[in-house]
């Protein structure tokens, strides 16, 4: 072959399955919290690849980790273990409530493992009747058929035939709605400490504590999906640590790999014992490349000064959003914690989050939406204050554009 193939946005429509509708820009290079497209145009990245790029783009520690491991060992499968996987598992165990770790490739796979484990644990200990999983409206747990059914958004699970059964949905932050559903048939209650896709809605401490107590009363497991909130994003290594409520099973992905695909399920010795040899598996789970990168991510983020920076960055974001709101009167509130924030559109601009998202890109800032009414920010945890200020200046121009129409 001579020369390199010319790539443009039209090629996507030619060769890719049409389940995505990506932006017209094609980024080609990133450094820190800045990204450049094919035309050399610069963007400030407030999206973080949907809360994934926890250390920004091409962080030196992650580049070094992947280079070093790439020259040693890429893949074995789980017929053998490997050093990076064991080091990463030990670090996760030492840093959390957990005794045992299972590695996968994504948050959906980590959740799939968690739900299967909860069902198997209940079957072994209590019998086949104890199979109900309680989740919440507006929740999101992945795109496998099981996880999307547990997720509380029917738009994602409808249209694929019969759904997995024994999945019930309560109302988030409404303890009475959980009490109405929970019973001796419940094997697990599954929740996000902050609902991500559902609109950046934090659980109240009273709600989380109440769910924990209900699980204890009914011999049900509390499964916390920390795929989006984990690995420092809320200013603690995991968001459950902000609440003083400990889950039985925790899932983590996104920020864990800093951009390299990896997921993990964490649990206790007793619960883990029910996934005996052959009951579950993953060809790529615990891949040496992924685990080497994830260890570098954890080593970098799990430091007091970095976690403190997450909270100081939050304050700067909130100050800037408040200043924008004072001028343009677009937000009813800013929800979330750390570097997972949602600017909620007021009545006048309800349903228009995508307009703000598109305008932001036009003005050189990458943001996200969390439903039709919320603009989501999930940038690098170590984003520089200068990048926050420049990004917010550009975002203000986008707000001005949308509100002046």
Residues at the annotated binding site for N(2)-acetyl-L-ornithine?
143, 282
Helix (H) or strand (E) holding 315: helix 304-328
Indicate the annotated binding residues for pyridoxal 5'-phosphate.
107-108, 140, 225-228, 283
Closest CA to 153 of 198, 185, 219, 188: 198
Alpha-carbon span 336 to 350, nearest angstrom: 19
The catalytic position among 140, 146, 331, 356 is 140
The catalytic position among 45, 131, 225, 355 is 225
CB proximity list for 45: less than 8 A, separation 6 or greater: 30, 33, 34, 35, 53, 56, 57, 366, 379, 380
Do 258 and 298 meet the contact criterion of CB atoms below 8 Å apart? no
Tell me whether residue 225 is one of the annotated catalytic residues. yes
Tell me whether residue 140 is one of the annotated catalytic residues. yes
Q: CA distances (Å), 58 to each of 32, 259, 283, in order?
A: 7, 9, 27
Q: CA distances (Å), 129 to each of 135, 164, 180, 328, 371, in order?
A: 18, 15, 18, 55, 36
Alpha-carbon span 342 to 333, nearest angstrom: 8
- HEC profile of 204-245: CHHHHHHHHHHHHHCCCEEEEECCCCCCCCCCCCCCHHHHCC
Do 36 and 28 meet the contact criterion of CB atoms below 8 Å apart? yes
Number of residues assigned to the chain: 405
Beta strands in 353-402, from DSSP E residues, in sequence order: 365-366, 368-369, 374-377
Indicate the annotated binding residues.
107-108, 140, 143, 225-228, 282-283
Strand partners, 194: 202
SS3 call for 121: helix
Do 265 and 223 meet the contact criterion of CB atoms below 8 Å apart? no
Alpha-carbon span 313 to 309, nearest angstrom: 6
The catalytic position among 130, 138, 254, 337 is 254
Q: CA distances (Å), 292 to each of 1, 74, 299, in order?
A: 34, 10, 11
Alpha-carbon span 150 to 140, nearest angstrom: 8
Q: Which residues are catalytic?
A: 140, 225, 254
């Amino acid at each position: 072959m001579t020369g390199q193939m010319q790539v443009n946005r039209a090629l996507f429509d030619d060769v890719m399955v049409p389940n995505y509708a990506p932006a017209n820009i094609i980024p080609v290079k990133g450094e820190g919290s800045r990204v450049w497209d094919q035309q050399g145009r610069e963007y400030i990245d407030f999206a973080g690849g949907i809360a994934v790029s926890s250390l920004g783009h091409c962080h030196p520690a992650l580049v070094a980790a992947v280079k070093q491991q790439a020259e040693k060992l890429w893949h074995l499968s789980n017929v053998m273990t490997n050093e990076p996987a064991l080091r990463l598992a030990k670090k996760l165990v030492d840093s959390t409530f957990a005794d045992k770790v299972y590695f996968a490739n994504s948050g959906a796979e980590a959740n799939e493992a968690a739900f299967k484990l909860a069902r198997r644990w209940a079957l072994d200990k209590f019998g086949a009747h104890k199979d109900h999983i309680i989740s919440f409206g507006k929740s999101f747990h992945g795109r496998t058929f099981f996880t999307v059914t547990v997720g509380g958004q029917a738009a994602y699970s409808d249209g694929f035939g019969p759904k997995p059964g024994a999945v019930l949905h309560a109302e988030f932050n409404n303890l009475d709605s959980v009490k109405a559903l929970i019973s001796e048939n419940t094997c697990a209650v599954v929740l996000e400490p902050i609902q991500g896709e559902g609109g950046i809605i934090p659980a109240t401490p009273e709600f989380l504590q109440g769910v924990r107590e209900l699980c204890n009363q009914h011999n049900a497991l509390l499964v916390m999906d920390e795929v989006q909130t984990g690995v420092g994003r809320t200013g603690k290594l995991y968001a459950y640590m902000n609440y003083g409520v400990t889950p039985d099973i925790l899932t983590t992905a996104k920020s864990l790999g800093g951009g390299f695909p990896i997921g993990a399920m964490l649990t206790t010795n007793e619960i883990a014992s029910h996934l005996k040899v052959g009951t579950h598996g993953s060809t790529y789970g615990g891949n040496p490349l992924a685990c080497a990168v994830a260890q570098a991510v954890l080593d970098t983020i799990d430091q007091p000064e970095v976690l403190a920076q997450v909270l100081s960055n939050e304050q700067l974001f909130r100050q800037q959003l408040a200043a924008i709101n004072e001028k343009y009167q677009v937000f009813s509130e800013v929800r979330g914690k750390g570097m997972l924030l949602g600017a909620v559109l007021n009545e006048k601009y309800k349903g228009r989050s995508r307009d703000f998202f598109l305008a932001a890109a036009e003005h050189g800032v990458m943001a996200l939406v969390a439903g039709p009414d919320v603009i989501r920010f999930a940038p690098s945890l170590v984003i520089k204050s200068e990048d926050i200020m420049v990004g917010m200046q550009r975002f203000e121009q986008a707000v001005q554009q949308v509100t002046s129409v």
